[in-house]
Structure 1
Amino acid sequence: MRLAVTTIEFFHDAVCGWCYLLSPRLRKIAAKYPVKVVHRAFVLQSNQLEMIARFGSLAQAKREILQHWEQCQRYAEHPELINIERMRAAPFNYPTGYLAALYAKAIEKLGGQQAHWDFFDVVQRAHLYEARNIADVKVLNDIAKAHGFTYPELLATLYSPEVKKAVMHDKLRAENFGIRTIPSLVIDGTKVVSQTLSLDQLEQLIATHVERQHVEEES
């Protein structure tokens, strides 16, 4: 009997270090279990004014967020892929993830969920390891181009009302589930997990869910 597919909605922000840890773990789960991952943009701060409102200043935002990076590094399978000092020395203010979310949704519209995921992971690596400014259009255009998306086709989609609505839709969906932090997972539209699970924890959760589904199908 073919097992039912479990849908995992992955709420994330490109600037989120904990999302950076969770994404490759989810990839391993998706390769092993009948799982469909749906990507949801959940941008914590959309612009610099929101950053200042949250942290007090842009300088303080960078200092505090890099402290979060230190915590992420301690729980990472590959701590060397989180380059705190490189980002600390970067000459730009700490970026927000809003523009990256628009690009990801545009690419999703053009290439589907897998294209969104692939783009998101490369953007996160550019941010957390390469210390590139992912609020810079040129940086995101370079990444999109490397994934086979030409600027004219991307531009035609990027600033369309549909893409902005898609980002807003994901935010409203998060609010409907009471999600306030990222990363968050919603499993089959019912179970919300708002923490960064280890690979073992994630596998136990999904394996149990899949087995329960199997039992219900047979009963």
Structure 2
Amino acid sequence: MLRVHIWSDFVCPWCYLGKRRWEKALAGFAHARDVEVAWRAFELRKDQPSVPGRRLADLMITNYGMQPAEIDEVFDRIRGLGAQEGITLHPEQVRPVNSFDAHRLSRLAADAGAGEPVMDALFRAYHAELRNIADHGVLRDLAAEAGLPDGEVAAMLRGDRYAETVRAQEAAARTAGVTSVPSFVIDGQQARHGAVEADDLLTMLNEEWEKNSRTGSDRPA
């Protein structure tokens, strides 16, 4: 059994790409049934408000000193990579928001057996549909589309359920040395960070499987 932890944030276009590439890698792995995957929360902008404000491009100019031409080049690349993976990305239009409650919803969905469809819905809503995934109404709509009971979702969003779970996963990221997303850690050993190609992820899976086969180990992640 291989245990994989993947840290990710819904407002990160590279994480959306990373999820698609991970799925492609896993589909090509001969022992996919023996892979246990745990998606983990990571907030890129913890202080971001829940109401959309400035565009991502504006934040990149202010926070990182990037020039408009540089940003256009990055955004063109992101859109092109998204098209290759069959997903729509609108980095030039997104307005970053806080993702904490989206991560809480993702934890609720995972416990209810609907983790994958809700994750996909959150990524699509933010990057393709330009919806505010910090808005509780939007989160409830996305959850309902995945078949989650609205009353349970609404109660979770009103309270602090899964808040400690999200914080614990973020703390675990620091312990694991994860400082950027997406980050893929297999069996607590090999790690890949950032815009990793599906072939590289598949190689990592095969390497760890072979290593475990030789040692007969079943290390915890």
> TM-score w.r.t. structure 1 length?
0.79
Query: What is the aligned partner in structure 2 of residue 11 from structure 1?
Result: 7
What letter matches 1:41 in structure 2?
Answer: A
Distance in 2 between residues matched to 1:30 and 1:78, nearest whole Å: 15
Query: What is the aligned partner in structure 2 of residue 53 from structure 1?
Result: none
1:52-94 per-position Cα deviation (integer Å, ceiling 9, x unaligned) = xxxxxx5364434676544422433247611345x25xxxx43
- Deviation for aligned residue 1:156: 3.4
**Greater shift after overlay, 59-68 or 25-34?**
59-68
Q: Where does the alignment leave 5 or more consecutive residues of structure 2 unmatched?
A: 61-70
Identity of aligned residues (%): 25
Equivalenced residue count is 200
Q: Is the 8 A contact 2:173 2:179 kept in 1?
A: yes
Distance in 2 between residues matched to 1:158 and 1:214, nearest whole Å: 44
1:8-38 per-position Cα deviation (integer Å, ceiling 9, x unaligned) = 1010101010010010222233333232210
Relative distance call for 1:149 and 1:49 in structure 2 (3 A) is closer
1:181-210 per-position Cα deviation (integer Å, ceiling 9, x unaligned) = 111111112223222211111111111211
- Deviation for aligned residue 1:108: 2.2
Matches within 5 A, 1:60-139: 61-64=56-59, 69-76=75-82, 77-78=84-85, 81-84=88-91, 87=93, 93-109=95-111, 111-112=112-113, 115-139=114-138
Q: Is the 8 A contact 1:30 1:36 kept in 2?
A: no
Distance in 1 between residues matched to 2:101 and 2:173, nearest whole Å: 19
Relative distance call for 1:144 and 1:80 in structure 2 (3 A) is closer
Distance in 1 between residues matched to 2:49 and 2:155, nearest whole Å: 28
Q: Is the 8 A contact 2:104 2:161 kept in 1?
A: no
Matches within 5 A, 1:175-190: 175-190=174-189
What letter matches 1:26 in structure 2?
Answer: W
Q: Where does the alignment leave 5 or more consecutive residues of structure 1 unmatched?
A: 51-57
Distance in 2 between residues matched to 1:105 and 1:159, nearest whole Å: 15
Q: Is the 8 A contact 1:69 1:82 kept in 2?
A: no
> TM-score w.r.t. structure 2 length?
0.79
Q: Is the 8 A contact 1:39 1:117 kept in 2?
A: no
Distance in 1 between residues matched to 2:55 and 2:91, nearest whole Å: 15
**Greater shift after overlay, 23-32 or 167-176?**
23-32
Structure with a larger share of its residues in helix:
1
